[in-house]
Amino acid sequence: MSESRKLTRRQVLQGTAAAGALGMLGNLEWIGQAWGAADKVKMGFIFVGPRDDYGYNQAHFEGKAAVAKLDWVKAFDEEKVPETIEVQKTMESMVKLDGAQVLFPTSFGYFDPHIIKVAPQFPNIQFLHCGGLYQEGKHPKNVGSYFGFIDESQYIAGIVAGGMSKSGKLGFVAAKPIPQVLRNINNYTLGARSIRPNCTTNVIFTGDWSLPVREAEATNSLVDQGIDVITCHVDSPKVVITTAEKRGIYCTGYHCNQSKLAPKGYLTGAEWNWAKVYMDYAEMIRKGQTAPHLVRGGLKEGIVKVSDYNQVVTDAVRKQADAAKDKFMGGGMVVYKGPIKDNTGRVVIAAGKEHVQTDIWLESMDWLVEGVIGSTKS
Amino acid sequence: MSVAVPQILNKALEPFLIIVGSLTVSMVLFGIFVASAGADPFEVYQTMYRAAFGTSFSWQNTLVRAAPLMLTALCTALPGYLGLIIIGGEGAVVMGGLFAAIVALTMPTAPPIVVLTTMALAGMVAGGVWLMIGGALRHYRAVNETISSLLLNYIAIALLNHLVTSTFRDPESLNHPSTHHIGEANMIGVIPGTDLHWGLVFGIVACVIAWFLMHHTVFGFASRIAGGNVRAAQVAGLPVGRLILTICCVAGAAGGLAGMLEVAAIHGRANDTLNANYGYAGILVAFVARNNPLAIIPVAVLLGGIRASSGLLQRAHELPDATVLVMQGIIFLVILFSETLYGRFAKLQKQGAS
């Protein structure tokens, strides 16, 4: 008895002393001073998932890492922040405790209601959100959006996939049937069919952004159905890519470069190039400029890119892919040019009509193009 | 000394000392872990304290995270009195939030107080019915309630995703399928003078009511008897089946209320963000609090503080978010092991008293 009593008393004493010491530290005015760098541009990044997910979050983290290398920037980040009140607290905390001048809450779900609620409290801080949701007059003035037309890269990847496929059957593991995802599926298919008109894309929707087990099941199921090139639009393509490599088929990546995960089968991939976007923003803030409310662009603007081709990609296919890329770079490429039918046979874009990349009509896409096997209702 | 301590204090002292002791041991273990990860454990604790409790902003940050945990912890704690291990808090939150949003949308012209009351009731009923399914499967079909309540979580999330992408979808929520907004007028405000929404008050009140229910009513007494020995309870004529269903329903109602608050205080609409793992974090809280509703309050605040400190740990020490998960895991395990200390300690005290 006496032994355990003594131990407890000692612990209690230690605990009290520690708590007292910590209490004193708590009273110190430390905000902003801890970093000792008042003249640096302070940028805060918030990610919804892990920094090293080989996907959406890693793409942003790589962008953050690029600006963090500049000696006049202090960049800090926080990962796995849920899209609820916690992200509001993280934003406030970055402003109040770290002295952030600009915040990049990168997940789509951070915008409404979280950024809209926090931004008006800090009118001197810029809140730049990835997703293109900003609307003039409706949203706070210190809010902006940036987004890339990654479907352009998917079009190129589709050409490579269609050219390298033996069966002419491609696979696509997708999270949800929302416009952004459908646009990628359609571009991938249109790219493949531009060089191989009878190509098809089998789509499986998993239902959510991060369901590794279901993504692996979907990949296996697609391979069993005879597809021999696969890609995806989920938060982390890791499982799809590694499963494809294990099953001995080709794959094309998404979000960031996954060639390390599949050295044999990774043909190419659609990647973000956030480093450029974040560098540009950092430069603007350094000069004291207000960032524009809307930054968008595709291959031409350097906001998205295409992974280097795998050595197995044949010269003929490279040439076709590069030709399309050059057209995008020159600004003369229109993917959604009629006649285009959806996969139920309905004409969605009449002959002679075209929808350029920035056309708002494309942002409410709810159909799958001819050649896609699957349904938005699934 | 223990001679002078009244019996009741002695009873409270034992769990208190064991839990404080376990937390101390956890902190030492976590300190070693942090040191092996290359950070100074004292600085890390200092940062954690600063981020969780050091300023008034930190306190609010902590409490806002603690509020839903108080409610979801009840999902696991209350059935615990009956010896049931229910881990379906996540499903109750999701169902509560979903149905709270749906009923709010059916009454666009009603005054806010009516809308909010109806939302709270709808959320509680939805959550309650959801966990009652687990209880009913247990009682009538002898299905393991832990497994069934876990699986019910996935069904709830699937149902939510289905309904917000079809019947109840706001057509303008293109890339983030959600229901329509319940209307700014119907949102629950903040507690005056703070940045905290009323969820915290709901959580504390719910815990106190739950404690009163389980410790000071015939119902609570009957439940504890049934939890101690089902056969004895049946022989004594206690309606065990009804107790199971009622307790599961009350537990689910707490989770449903948490979901309703997520909608009415934060999102304004129901969508997949309702599934923010509060239900699972609540299991840990209930466990550490040893299912005692009053103990849930400080434990939820502690866990909220740990979660709140994650951000600054990442930014100031460049540690991954998983660091605080490791800490939670260590606390969980040490508390689990400390269970074996109960009784031994009491025996020692009795000897001292004699």
Q: For A80, which of B321, B345, B348 is closest by C-beta distance?
A: B321
pLDDT of residue B342: 82
Q: Which CATH code, of 1.10.860, 1.10.3450, 1.10.3470, 3.30.70, is assigned to B40-318?
A: 1.10.3470
B52 DSSP assignment? I
DSSP states of A219-283:
HHHHHHTT--EEEEESS-THHHHHHHHHTT-EEEEEES--TTT-TTTEEEEEEE-HHHHHHHHHH
> Would you say A158 and A183 are in contact if contact means Cβ atoms under 8 Å apart?
no
Alpha carbon distance B223, B84 (integer Å)? 11
CB contact under 8 A, B20 and A11: yes
Q: Are strands A143-148 and A126-130 parallel, antiparallel or unpaired?
A: parallel
Residue with tokens 């108080």: B70
Orientation of helix B7-36 relative to helix B344-353, angle to 10° = 140
Which residues contact residue A335 at a Cβ distance below 8 angstroms, ignoring those fewer than 6 apart? A151, A152, A155, A187, A190, A357
Cis preceding-peptide flag for B108 (omega within 30 of 0): no
Structure tokens at B197: 């929404």
Q: Do B24 and A11 touch (CB under 8 A)?
A: yes
**Does A312 contact chain B (CB < 8 Å)?**
no
In angstroms, the CA A191 to CA A162 distance is 8
Q: How far apart are CA A291 and CA A296, in angstroms?
A: 13
CB within 8 A of A367, min separation 6: which ones?
A: A182, A342, A343, A346, A348, A376
Residues of chain B positioned with their CB less than 8 A from the CB of A179? 174-175
Residue B4: predicted pLDDT = 53
- CB contacts < 8 A, A to B, total 114
- pLDDT string in tens for chain B (354-residue length): 445 556 666 677 888 888 889 989 999 999 999 999 888 999 999 999 999 999 899 999 999 999 999 999 999 999 999 999 999 999 999 999 999 999 999 999 999 999 999 999 999 999 999 999 999 999 999 999 999 999 999 999 999 999 998 899 998 888 889 999 999 999 998 999 888 999 999 999 999 999 999 999 999 999 999 999 999 999 999 999 999 999 999 999 999 999 999 999 999 999 999 998 999 999 999 988 989 999 999 999 999 999 999 989 999 888 888 898 899 889 888 988 888 888 776 555 555 444
- Position A83 pLDDT exceeds 80: yes
d(CA A281, CA A287): 10
Domain ranges of chain B: 40-318
The token pair at B97 is 């939030």
| pLDDT at site B226 | 94
Q: Is the pLDDT of residue A1 over 50?
A: no
Please state, as a whole number, how many other Cβ atoms lie within 10 Å of the Cβ of residue B309.
Answer: 26
Q: How far apart are CA A51 and CA B321, in angstroms?
A: 10
Give which of B14, B169, B269, B273 to mutate to test A binding, by max A Cβ within 10 Å.
B273
pLDDT in tens, A89-115: 999 999 988 899 999 999 999 998 999
Reported as a single tens digit per residue, the pLDDT across A314-350 is: 999 999 999 999 999 999 899 999 899 999 999 999 9
Residue A76 makes CB contacts below 8 A (sequence gap 6+) with: A42, A43, A44, A45, A94, A98, A100, B314, B315
Best residue in B163, B198, B269, B315 for a mutation probing chain A (most A CBs within 10 Å): B315
What is the mean predicted confidence (pLDDT) over A17-21?
Answer: 47
Beta carbons of A89 and B161 less than 8 Å apart: no
Answer yes or no: is pLDDT of A179 > 50.
yes
Give B203-206 contacts, CB < 8 A, sequence gap 24+.
B203/B66, B203/B67, B203/B68, B203/B69, B203/B70, B203/B71, B203/B258, B203/B297, B203/B300, B204/B70, B204/B297, B206/B70, B206/B71, B206/B74, B206/B254, B206/B257
Sign of CA dihedral A58, A60, A66, A71: negative
A151-269+312-373 has which CATH code? 3.40.50.2300
3-class DSSP state of A317: helix
Q: Using the predicted structure, report yes or no on whether residue A172 has a pLDDT greater than 70.
A: yes
Rounded to two decimals, the pTM is 0.86
Prediction ipTM score: 0.86
**Kind and range of the H or E element at A175?**
none
Listed residue (A47, A42, A148) closest to A90, CA to CA:
A47
Question: In the prediction, which pLDDT does B227 show?
Answer: 93
- Residue owning tokens 């662009």: A297
List of chain B residues whose C-beta atoms are within 8 Å of the C-beta of residue A44: 315
| Structure tokens belonging to residue A134 | 């900003």
Q: What is the dihedral of CA B51, B52, B55, B58, to 10 degrees?
A: 90
Could you give the CA distance from residue B200 to residue A85 in angstroms, rounded to a whole number?
13
Report whether pLDDT(A279) > 80: yes
| pLDDT at residue B2 in the model | 47
Distance separating alpha carbons of residues A368 and A249, to the nearest angstrom:
24
pLDDT number for residue B299:
92
The pLDDT, as a whole number, for residue A38 is 58
Tokens linked to A77:
């980040």
Share the mean pLDDT of chain A.
Answer: 90
Beta bridge partners of A232: A173
Average pLDDT over residues A240-245: 97
Alpha-carbon distances, residue B329 vs A312, B35, B322, B335 (angstroms): 46, 17, 10, 10
Cα gap A185→A191, rounded to integer Å: 10
Chain B residue with CA closest to A43: the answer is B315
Looking at chain A, which residues constitute the CATH 3.40.50.2300 domain(s)?
41-148, 151-269+312-373
Phi, psi of B157 (to 5 degrees): -65, -40
Structure tokens at A298: 């595709």
User: What is the CATH architecture assignment of A41-148?
Assistant: 3-Layer(aba) Sandwich (3.40)
Q: Which residue has the higher pLDDT, A130 or A1?
A: A130
Instruction: Determine the pLDDT at residue A6.
Output: 43
Q: Let me know: does A238 contact A261? Beta carbons within 8 Å.
A: yes
Integer Cα distance of A331 and A327 in angstroms: 6
Tally of CB atoms within 10 A around B340: 9
The answer to whether B311 contacts A81, with C-beta atoms less than 8 Å apart, is yes
